[in-house]
Copies of this chain bind each other. A is one copy, B any other.
Amino acid sequence: MMDEINMISKSQIIDKLKKAGVTPTQQRVEIGQILFAKPQHMSADQVLSVVNQTGPVVSKATIYNTLGLFAKKGLVREVIVDPSKVFYDSNTSEHHHFYDIDTGSLMDINNGQLRLESMPVLPDGTEAEGIDIVIRVRKSMH
């Protein structure tokens, strides 16, 4: 009721899932509603606790299954910057990240702000699947 502003309607989520070839079950819509509400980075853990605050309970296994499925279907992107947990990024456009090592928070780098000069020669028999650039930052002490 009070987060109406950032809400995406249930039918929009259902659409999004269908378009990606994901059967829109109640739990997946529930999770999508949290994940796609606004561009953001969440760990499985955070998703789990938010889902279970705002709606009917969804099990841990389903959270992991769903996040994995969403990632496979391109609805969400896994970001690996923290040795202890995976972040799921609902912004699937090409971009990279700042990672604040003090706070553990992730921020998008707008695309255009950062690009590679050239692509290196790949190892034999491989093809590129993706490029991740992470700029680690910390509070500056002036």
Contact = CB atoms under 8 A, between A and B. Distances in A.
A85 B83 CA distance: 7
A9 interface: no
Copies held by the complex:
2
A116 B113 contact: no
A121 B107 CA distance: 12
Interface stretch (A17-25, A33-41, A54-62, A124-132): A124-132
5 contacts: A78-B83, A80-B80, A114-B116, A120-B135, A132-B136
Contacts of A140: 125-127
Chain A interface, >50% SS class: strand
Interface in A5-30: none
B122 A135 contact: yes
B139 A125 contact: yes
Given A117-B116, A126-B100, A133 B132 contact: yes
A28 B70 CA distance: 44
